[in-house]
Structure 1
């Protein structure tokens, strides 16, 4: 990772936690931090107390809030290079543009999947679903203590090795920067009878059964990343169950959860995917959603 890490802020506790997470990650990786705030002028009746109604006063308040947030970060990390970009306009476009120019976009998230501030309802999901770079969602109250030794970077792996290569790369890079263990999780379920074919039955027979087959598939997917990051301890975790349920079952030991999503659009538009959607709703730790082909 050589480009900046970008954090979206809006003054909420969730976004300030995201800013803190992004700053720590930028320091670990030795890259710059960019702070983005997207806003629109609002009529007085919808504003919070203490904010004046005219556009100039609102702009002054926004810039002041961003400056204050950045000052907190630079005080904690004196050597960190920080730039800001306050954009007046539509939130999705501003955040997607910010994501495209960064290696990583970090946003604040409320529990149970609701994203606050300039990310209202479907806006947050649209940013996650359409971003061409990884997006990390951070909950309010997230602290550096959550990244302590012994807490793992957990990543989901499914399909063939190339299907999860982007998520595995992100997980191993993050763990390497943190000195953490990577737990790679592959979930499996019994296929319906009609899904069996002579070819698949032969593969299963050669592997010794379904679970040994899944373990071999996971080992093959992880092998290139073990070789590339020999300093990173790895736990290969194969368990029967739905992918979302198995990932959430180990979330309690995670300092970060990494899941993939397909980057291409479907007939109904961009989608996050059921596994990523479930983890975003229920995991207490920060969650990275990594697009792949």
Structure 2
């Protein structure tokens, strides 16, 4: 059986959209769907914390409502639920370790602390090494949102200067499942304008672009051979990588970006391009950790 798809719920519109997205993904993969909720219940000094008798019914109602809604939409889907009492980020990283994918809403709008693309969401993305998909509430309003994942293009951002096999493996496998076009994008910047500005000569720029496209094609060739049915639109462009990804992926079914796994606790664990895409993309974003 395929590894289960895990989705974090906090009752917000975003987390419900994430659950519906995750359900469609589970159907694509013939995998079970696991709904989880984690909460660290705390109170200001001097105010007693809510008792388990209060917390448990709220959590059970949250999970039951989501379960019933998804079961009604996808009666064939294997759905389970689980709740955790503890720090949400730690709980999510733990449950994601054995999952095929973790899906989160991009913002929690409820009054309770939940899964948000803030301190919790970013902490999870920095620590988890399984694919993580971030979904906005607006995804439910996109075409085909209520059926199986359909034929909206996918976009993957590639750095041809470094190996990124895990990133490409995920992107090609997902595009194959969706039977959609995969748009592979490598962006590069002209050097600072100094001296005579030779690099800004149109002929030189064209030569560099051709070289970048050749490098991109070389990186993609093994994956084209492995997934011959996936239609690839590969482009190397001059410009900001994050801006190019956001523009190209504005109506994509999924934007796929990578993050380098850092074993050290010092330094950033999410690169600036992935960070910008996570915070500004309107389409779902998959973050793939890789060496």
TM-score, normalized by the shorter chain, greater than 0.5: yes
Counterpart of 1:289 in structure 2 is 287
- Conserved 8 A contact 1:37-1:85: yes
Which structure has the highest helix share of the two? 1
Matches of 2:261 and 2:150, distance apart in 1: 33
SS at match of 2:175: helix
SS at match of 2:120: helix
1:109-258 equivalent positions in 2, closer than 5 A = 109-110=106-107, 117-119=114-116, 121-143=118-140, 145=143, 150-160=151-161, 163-191=163-191, 209-258=207-256
Matches of 1:150 and 1:166, distance apart in 2: 23
Matches of 1:174 and 1:192, distance apart in 2: 37
Shift of 1:122: 1.9
- Conserved 8 A contact 1:36-1:86: yes
- Please tell me whether residue 82 in structure 1 is matched to residue 82 in structure 2: no
Once the two structures are superposed, what CA deviation does each residue of 1:104-159 show, in whole Å capped at 9, x if it has no partner?
A: 10000039xxxx72337322111011111011000013226256755211000113
Counterpart of 2:41 in structure 1 is 41
How many corresponding residue pairs? 271
Matches of 2:219 and 2:238, distance apart in 1: 18
Shift of 1:165: 1.6
- Conserved 8 A contact 1:163-1:292: no
**Structure 2 length-normalised TM:** 0.85
CA RMSD of aligned residues (A): 2.6
1:13-92 equivalent positions in 2, closer than 5 A = 13-43=13-43, 53-92=50-89
CA 1:34–1:146: 2 relative to 1, 3 Å: same
SS at match of 2:143: helix
Shift of 1:187: 0.5
Matches of 2:223 and 2:192, distance apart in 1: 32
Matches of 1:137 and 1:64, distance apart in 2: 24
Shift of 1:31: 0.8
Matches of 1:102 and 1:270, distance apart in 2: 25
Shift of 1:22: 0.5
Ranges in structure 2 where 5+ consecutive residues have no aligned partner = 195-203
Matches of 1:185 and 1:244, distance apart in 2: 11
SS at match of 2:139: coil
- Please tell me whether residue 271 in structure 1 is matched to residue 243 in structure 2: no
Matches of 2:36 and 2:100, distance apart in 1: 14
SS at match of 2:190: coil
Q: Which moved more, 1:88-97 or 1:184-193?
A: 184-193
**Structure 1 length-normalised TM:** 0.85
Matches of 1:42 and 1:11, distance apart in 2: 18
Counterpart of 1:2 in structure 2 is 2
Matches of 2:183 and 2:290, distance apart in 1: 20
Matches of 2:277 and 2:118, distance apart in 1: 17
- Please tell me whether residue 98 in structure 1 is matched to residue 98 in structure 2: no
SS at match of 2:164: helix
Shift of 1:267: 5.4
Once the two structures are superposed, what CA deviation does each residue of 1:37-61 show, in whole Å capped at 9, x if it has no partner?
A: 101334499xxxxxx9432121111
Ranges in structure 1 where 5+ consecutive residues have no aligned partner = 46-51, 195-204
